Amino acid sequence: MSLQSHAKPRFVRSTQRFLGTPKGILTILLAVLTLLAIPGQGAAHVTFPLVSAMATAAAVDVFVVRMSRNAWIFPSGAILSGLILALILGPEEPWIVPIATATLAITSKHLFRTRLANVFNPAALALVIAAVAFGSAESWWGALPDLGWAGIPVLIVTGGFIANRINKLPLVLVFLGTYFALFSMASFVGDASQVAEIFRAPDLHMVLFFAFFMLDDPPTCPIRHRDQVQFALIVAFMAYAFFMLWGWLYFLPAALLVGNVREAWRRRAPRPQVRPAVVTRAG
């Protein structure tokens, strides 16, 4: 280690290390999307939902860990969950909604766990509960729908970068390919106007944000490429079914929860044991 690095304060060194991790990179990318999205909504309109969701998520995470493990943590994952929630929820929602939704997200992370990780994507579960319990709206303003077609390459570049960095690009590509194939097929065999919104803003931006920044959440999705393909197909088919059958506004987070349950079950299922080969001597 160089003398220059020794001279840096511990906080600076810790921050540099964090920003080099997948969580740190994701934080930077979401911050970029947030800065690009704020002008379309108005800073005064979105500041409280952003700050309250992230602060609440962080406070709940620190409190739960302190009470359950008698330890202090830096709640980086909780801050990310709060930020994602704020970028999805409509900024016009009552002040209690981002606070309650962030609380639900982090509480669920600690309640629904297997030995290895949490079962559900915290943001997805909280969004579904909030939609059912509070009737909260999802605007997905952080997906840059206000930028129109200009927002699409920004989502693809930033999202593709992080998906590739965490080795989840096959998952994202299979999901998006299946998702658009199903809705394209529906437009040819049925009423095209029923699914036309899927292919334009804000729904087009919404699914890209979902695929790149929620679907591939490392703790709740598979590692192996074969399992990623299965996971992606399940979520895509369930999203299609929830939209076509019931028209749920929260059809994407709800579909992700189905995939989360399937993945948690797969992880818990006993793996077949490989019997050692029997070696025999000749003669």
CA dist 81 → 30, 162, 192, 206, 228 (Å): 11, 16, 35, 17, 22
Place of tokens 């979401």: 30
Beta-carbon-side half-sphere exposure of residue 185 (alpha carbons within 13 Å): 9
**pLDDT (tens digit per residue) in 106-153:** 999 999 988 778 999 999 999 999 999 999 999 999 999 999 999 999
User: Is residue 276 scored above 90 in pLDDT?
Assistant: no
Instruction: Give the CA dihedral 76, 78, 84, 86, nearest 10 degrees.
Output: -120
Q: Kindly report the average pLDDT of the chain as a whole number.
A: 92
pLDDT of residue 283: 40
98 upstream amide cis, omega within 30 of 0: no
* Helices 203-210, 151-165: crossing angle, 10 deg rounding: 10
Whether residue 24 contacts residue 68, with contact meaning beta carbons closer than 8 Å, is answered with: no
**pLDDT (tens digit per residue) in 76-111:** 999 999 999 999 999 999 999 999 999 999 999 999
Categorize the per-residue pLDDT at 4 as very low, low, confident or very high, splitting at 50, 70 and 90: low
Q: Let me know the angle formed at the C-alpha of 88 by 16 and 244, rounded to the nearest 5 degrees.
A: 135
What distance in Å separates the CA atoms of residue 280 and residue 262, rounded to the nearest whole number?
A: 42
| Contact residues for 107 (Cβ-Cβ < 8 A; gap 6+) | 60, 64
**pLDDT (tens digit per residue) in 29-39:** 999 999 999 99
Q: Among candidates 27, 251, 224, which has minimal Cα distance to 138? A: 251
**pLDDT (tens digit per residue) in 252-275:** 999 999 999 999 999 887 665 555
Q: In whole angstroms, what separates CA 205 from the centre of its chain?
A: 14
The answer to pTM > 0.75 is: yes
User: Is residue 246 scored above 60 in pLDDT?
Assistant: yes
